[in-house]
């Protein structure tokens, strides 16, 4: 939304200092004010900005840094008796500040101008140290920290002169399977949205397993591998994050596509610095409930957002739908789901009578499993996804509270390599077949389901009949069913593709767009 008045320009003074004078002696103290300005004028000290609260208890004067100490000394010398009698406190100095002035016509006749300007600054994490408006109402001046000057000028210029223009500054860690697909999508979007469009994406920083690199003008995404190889700085996660914060760019988004926790420890710092975090990484949301709650609380008071739609269901909007239900005041009573494309594929093929070990081997050959299928068959990844949904539903639960049925036989868990694992797994084919046939005789099928009801969470093989919403699940689809106050007799069910790096990358990109909106 454009700031609605005829702006003539935005000006700034990069380096100023503030003299802060406080005390009861200022209240109705016309003589004191006269003496302050008189002594400053006698020493040729130029006062750039003056602001005084209606309580008259404090007075702020902006001066050039080179005149700050002189101004402080002459004021304290002039008011030495008042300072001695505690009518006036010691003059305080605040350095490293800047002034921005927005100048325009019709300000006195347009309601809400100052509010919209201040809102724009606040939404971008720019703190106002002091504000002043001339009696002509043609000018609003703001004192801010010098480190925020570039950002403040950019956001005000965009808000006033290009109200529909959005520039997104991206920083991506982990250009692996998912991250590289995110970059492919961004490359297409940059070509789709040229410089004169309303959306402009810029990849400013990139970090891989070797190190990191930056380009304030934007990294050429089509050539990112070559760029990081030629300009790599040795790996240091802390320095990478600190540089992102120090750049202080508007609409900054950090995209964590790593599979480890190296960057999770910095999420709080990023969000507190008004830098949004988008990630398919589940570690932050499945560690302690305390961290989960803390990250949520930060985004309530900041412009920054924490988005993680790809944590559960890949591109199927399970988390956002659940968040909408909770926001509408609905209460979640039961959550059921199949959140693993791998396990969905295995049990859907098991319905057809195929041997369990053969299905797992085929899933691995088609790239549906982790390099070690035991990581999928353990059920732990699916348990983490269930935990996220439980917490989104408003329940305080820790990972240790979830009971998980491990599909890897104990004998196979200790296998030295994958080949040995498959040889051991063959011995249990008959066991799975007997269990499948027993269910079939009752008109049921086997399904590995994650569920939570009445605060009890578990994962394991269940026998379900045709009335169950998961009965006709096929392929590697994911599915979830929410039983709530509103959806009581017929649970709200979402179903969609649940695996694939490209599909997950699209979910990550969707979260980036949600941040911008």
DSSP letter at 66? G
CA angle at 49 for the pair 48 and 52, rounded to the nearest 5°: 155
CA dist 9 and 23 (Å) reads 37
**Cross-strand bridge partners of residue 167:** 200
- φ, ψ dihedrals at 65, nearest 5°: -55, -35
| 3-class SS shares of the chain: helix, strand, coil, % to 5 | 45, 25, 30
β-bridge pairing 139-145 and 306-307: unpaired
Asked whether 453 and 397 are in contact (CB, 8 A), the reply is no
Sign of CA pseudo-dihedral 76, 82, 85, 88: negative
Which value, to the nearest 10 degrees, does the dihedral of the CA atoms of residues 339, 340, 346, 349 take?
50
Would you mind telling me the total number of residues written for the chain in this entry?
A: 517
**Cross-strand bridge partners of residue 468:** none
Sign of CA pseudo-dihedral 419, 478, 451, 300: positive
Asked whether 316 and 495 are in contact (CB, 8 A), the reply is yes
Q: In 3-state terms, what secondary structure has residue 500?
A: coil
Dig out the tokens for 463 from the structure: 């026998």
Asked whether 353 and 422 are in contact (CB, 8 A), the reply is no
Dig out the tokens for 150 from the structure: 């570039």
DSSP letter at 162? -
Active site residue 151: no
**Which of 72, 116, 202, 385 does the annotation list as catalytic?**
385
Asked whether 48 and 66 are in contact (CB, 8 A), the reply is no
Q: In 3-state terms, what secondary structure has residue 450?
A: strand
Which of 270, 328, 262 shows the shortest CA–CA distance to 295? Answer: 270
Residues carrying an active site annotation: 385
């Amino acid at each position: 939304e454009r700031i609605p008045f005829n702006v003539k320009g935005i000006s700034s003074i990069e380096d100023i200092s503030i003299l802060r004078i406080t005390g009861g002696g200022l209240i109705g103290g016309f003589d004191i004010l006269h003496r302050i300005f008189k002594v400053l004028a006698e020493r040729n000290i130029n006062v750039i900005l003056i602001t005084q609260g209606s309580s008259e208890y404090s007075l702020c004067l902006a001066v050039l840094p080179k005149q700050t100490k002189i101004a402080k000394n002459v004021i304290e010398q002039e008011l030495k008796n008042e300072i001695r009698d505690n009518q006036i406190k010691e003059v305080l100095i605040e350095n490293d500040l800047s002034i921005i002035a927005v100048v325009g016509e019709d300000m006195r006749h347009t309601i809400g101008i100052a509010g919209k300007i201040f809102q724009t600054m606040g939404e971008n994490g720019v703190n106002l140290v002091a504000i002043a408006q001339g009696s002509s109402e043609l000018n609003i001046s703001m004192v801010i920290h010098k480190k925020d000057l570039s950002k403040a000028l950019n956001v005000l210029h965009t808000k006033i002169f290009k109200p529909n223009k959005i520039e997104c500054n991206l920083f991506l860690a982990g250009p692996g399977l998912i991250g590289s697909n995110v970059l492919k999508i961004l490359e297409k979007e940059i070509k789709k949205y040229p410089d004169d469009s309303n959306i402009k994406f810029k990849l400013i920083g990139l970090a891989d397993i070797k190190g990191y690199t930056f380009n304030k003008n934007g990294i050429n995404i089509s050539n990112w591998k070559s760029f990081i190889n030629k300009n790599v700085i040795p790996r240091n996660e802390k320095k990478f994050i600190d540089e992102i914060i120090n750049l202080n760019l508007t609409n900054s988004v950090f995209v964590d596509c790593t599979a480890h926790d190296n960057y999770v420890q910095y999420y709080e710092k990023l969000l507190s610095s008004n830098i949004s975090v988008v990630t398919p990484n589940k570690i932050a949301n499945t560690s302690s409930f305390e961290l989960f709650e803390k990250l949520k609380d930060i985004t309530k008071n900041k412009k920054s957002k924490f988005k993680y739609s790809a944590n559960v269901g890949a591109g199927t909007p399970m988390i956002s739908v659940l968040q909408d239900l909770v926001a509408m005041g609905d209460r979640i009573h039961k959550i059921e789901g199949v959140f693993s494309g791998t396990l969905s594929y295995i049990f859907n093929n098991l319905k057809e009578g195929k041997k369990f070990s053969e299905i797992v081997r085929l899933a691995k050959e088609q790239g549906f499993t982790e390099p070690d299928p035991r990581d999928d068959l353990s059920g732990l990844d699916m348990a983490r996804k269930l935990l996220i949904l439980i917490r989104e539903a408003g329940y305080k639960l820790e990972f240790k509270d979830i009971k998980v049925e491990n599909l890897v036989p104990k004998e196979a868990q200790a296998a030295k390599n994958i080949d040995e694992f498959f040889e051991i797994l063959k011995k249990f084919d008959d066991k799975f077949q007997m269990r499948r046939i027993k269910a079939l005789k009752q008109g049921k099928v086997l399904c590995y389901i994650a569920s939570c009801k009445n605060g009890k969470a578990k994962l394991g093989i269940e026998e379900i009949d045709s009335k169950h919403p998961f009965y006709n699940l096929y392929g590697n689809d994911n599915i979830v069913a929410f039983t709530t106050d509103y959806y009581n007799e017929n649970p709200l069910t979402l179903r969609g593709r649940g695996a694939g790096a490209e599909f997950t990358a699209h979910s990550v990109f969707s979260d980036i767009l949600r941040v911008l909106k």
